[in-house]
Every structure is written in C-alpha cells, then in structure tokens.
C-alpha cells in the first residue's frame, strides 16, 4: 500500500514539520542511538540524525528508502535504513536510547505486538516518542469515511487512529513506562487550493486512499463497472465534504489536522 502513490511527497510537502516536532519532544541529542519505526522516507529519522544521534530508520516498505537516502544526503547526514516489520523488529533488547514513530506504527494492524516491540528494543530509562493522528481529527475521520468502501481488514487488526487515543496508548504500554507526557496539537495544512484539489492529491499520492479506490474497482470487476463508478463518486463527494468541514476559514483553504504527541520513559 505505501509503495503506491508518492508518500515521500506527502510527508515532505503536506506535513513537513512533524518529524522535527517529535525529535524535539524526545530530546534527541548527539551520541544517542535512535530507532524510528515506520520511518517511511525519514520524516523523523533525518531531523534526529541532524542532532548528531546515530539513527536507524526502519520500515516494512523499503521502496521509500531511496527518496529518504537522497533527502538525507542533501541534508548532509548519514543513517541506517532497515527493512523491518514493526510487529517483529530485528533488533536486540534494549538496543536504542530512543524509539520513535510518527504516523507510522499506527498503521501496523496488531497494536499490542507493535507496542511490545517498541518497548522491548528501548533501553531501560530510554525514551519512547509517538505522534499519531487522533480518531476525532481530520485523518482519523477520513479513514472512517473510507472504511465502508475498503476491503475487510485482516483478522485481529485494529483501527489505526486508536494510536491517537491517549488511553489506548497507555493501555498498550502499561506499567512498563513512566513519566508520560501526552498532549493534542494540530498541524496546519494549507498547500491545497480547495477540497477538490486535496481529494485528487490524496487519490494520487496517499497509499490508504489509493488502496480504497483500487479495491472498489477490483471488487466490482467488469460486470460491476457502473456500481464501482457510483461508489467511487460517492466517496469522492464524501472526501470533499469532509475537507470542506475542516476549512478553518483563514482567508484561503486551510485545515488543522489533529494529532496526539505522546512521550514516556521506559522503566529502569
């Protein structure tokens, strides 16, 4: 899913500052060993590396790494890129001083497995830092809008925006962490001229949106072409309406997308 479209462009042009926000919140600094889970093209990994930390960017979709390497080279930093499943990380217990994920781990289907792995590879007294879209924010609502049109998720899969619910994340990490700091914030998205341009951009570039439209065509097949077109048109309209609802009325089209920033310290 994430190899389709152009997620590096989404990360770089739509939400370019979230990686730096998480890097700062985690207090990442030179000499630390940092793992970014669901790193994509490095929206956290590159800002973390710029501090002088030794950074490993891990993701299940290595197709995103080429762009990440180019971006890292342009910024003058070097980091490791590892193909890795968030639910089964190929790293040793306690290997990293800081473990992060920015709107990445939330898309792994089995939340507890991913949370357990992040805690496992984090060193005692190390930091776990997360930014995830909230269920009630724009992306959480967008995923809910798309859900009726999407194929059934795999057994046991949980909705990604639950990672943006503080109580859910606290339950996942349990008493293995302390010093929890959690706050909701928003990122202003103002690069689109209007709701229609936003929808068309995400239909072209954002993996989950691409996957839903593709599934409509694949499920309906040739015999159901008209029905597939009707459903696609309905989803088109719903996405435009959702974007319109989130226009903050700043003079030109702009939306505030809500996320949960969550940091904690692993117990020693």
Q: Using CB atoms within 10 A of its CB, is residue 179 exposed (0-12), middle (13-18) or buried (19+)?
A: exposed
Same domain, 137 and 232: no
Q: Give a yes or no: residue 250 inside a domain.
A: no
- Residue span of the structural domain in which 116 resides: 7-190+256-266
Same domain, 79 and 138: yes
Q: Give a yes or no: residue 1 inside a domain.
A: no
For 142, phi then psi, to 5°, come to: -65, -45
Same domain, 207 and 111: no
Same domain, 224 and 115: no
Residues facing residue 261 across a β-bridge: 131, 183
d(CA 95, CA 157): 28
Task: Reduce the DSSP state of residue 134 to 3 states and report it.
Answer: coil
The most distant pair of C-alpha atoms in the chain lies apart, rounded to whole Å, by 60
d(CA 84, CA 62): 9
Same domain, 117 and 86: yes
Same domain, 175 and 209: no
Q: Using CB atoms within 10 A of its CB, is residue 246 exposed (0-12), middle (13-18) or buried (19+)?
A: buried
Q: Give a yes or no: residue 60 inside a domain.
A: yes
Same domain, 95 and 210: no
Q: Give a yes or no: residue 143 inside a domain.
A: yes
Report pLDDT for 222: 45
Helix locations, the chain, DSSP H: 7-13, 18-25, 45-50, 65-75, 111-121, 138-146, 166-173, 195-205, 207-220, 225-245
Q: Give a yes or no: residue 157 inside a domain.
A: yes
Question: Tokens 């830092």 label which residue?
Answer: 129
Same domain, 178 and 227: no
Q: Give a yes or no: residue 220 inside a domain.
A: yes
Q: Give a yes or no: residue 251 inside a domain.
A: no
Q: Give a yes or no: residue 2 inside a domain.
A: no
Same domain, 200 and 162: no
Overall domain count for the chain: 2
Are 118 and 109 contacting, i.e. CB atoms less than 8 angstroms apart?
Answer: no
Kindly report the pTM of this predicted structure: 0.94
Same domain, 139 and 226: no
**From the first residue on, what is the mean pLDDT of each consecutive set of 10 residues in the chain (268 residues)?**
85 94 98 97 97 98 95 96 98 98 97 98 98 98 95 90 98 98 97 96 94 82 69 96 94 96 97
122-133: strand order across its sheet: 80-83, 54-59, 33-37, 96-102, 122-133, 255-266, 177-189
The DSSP secondary-structure symbol of 153 reads P
Residues facing residue 37 across a β-bridge: 58
Residue 5 CB partners (closer than 8 Å, separation 6+): 204, 205, 206, 207, 209, 210
Report pLDDT for 223: 47
- Domain containing 91 — which CATH number? 3.40.50.150
Structure tokens, 198: 């936003």
**Stated length of the chain:** 268
Same domain, 22 and 113: yes
Are 256 and 138 contacting, i.e. CB atoms less than 8 angstroms apart?
Answer: yes
Same domain, 183 and 262: yes
């Amino acid at each position: 899913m994430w190899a389709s479209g152009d997620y590096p462009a989404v990360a770089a042009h739509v939400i370019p500052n979230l990686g730096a926000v998480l890097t700062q919140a985690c207090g990442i600094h030179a000499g630390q060993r940092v793992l970014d889970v669901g790193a994509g093209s490095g929206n956290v990994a590159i800002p973390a590396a710029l501090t002088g930390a030794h950074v490993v960017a891990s993701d299940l979709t290595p197709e995103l790494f080429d762009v990440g390497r180019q971006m890292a080279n342009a910024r003058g930093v070097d980091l490791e890129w590892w193909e890795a499943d968030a639910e089964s990380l190929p790293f040793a217990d306690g290997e990293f001083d800081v473990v992060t994920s920015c709107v990445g781990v939330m898309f792994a289907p089995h939340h507890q497995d991913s949370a357990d792995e992040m805690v496992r590879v984090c060193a005692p007294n190390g930091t776990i830092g997360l930014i995830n879209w909230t269920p009630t924010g724009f992306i959480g609502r967008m995923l809910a809008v798309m859900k009726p049109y999407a194929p059934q998720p795999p057994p046991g899969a949980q909705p990604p925006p639950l990672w943006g619910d503080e109580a859910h994340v606290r339950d996942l990490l349990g008493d293995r962490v302390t010093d929890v700091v959690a706050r909701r914030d928003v990122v202003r998205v103002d690069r689109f001229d209007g709701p229609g341009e936003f929808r068309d951009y995400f239909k072209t570039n954002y993996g989950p949106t691409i996957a839903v439209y593709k599934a409509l065509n694949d499920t309906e097949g040739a015999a159901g072409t008209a029905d597939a077109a009707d459903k696609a048109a309905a989803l088109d309209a719903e996405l435009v309406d959702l974007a319109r609802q989130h226009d903050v009325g700043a003079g030109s089209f702009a939306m505030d997308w809500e996320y949960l920033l969550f940091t904690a310290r692993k117990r020693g």
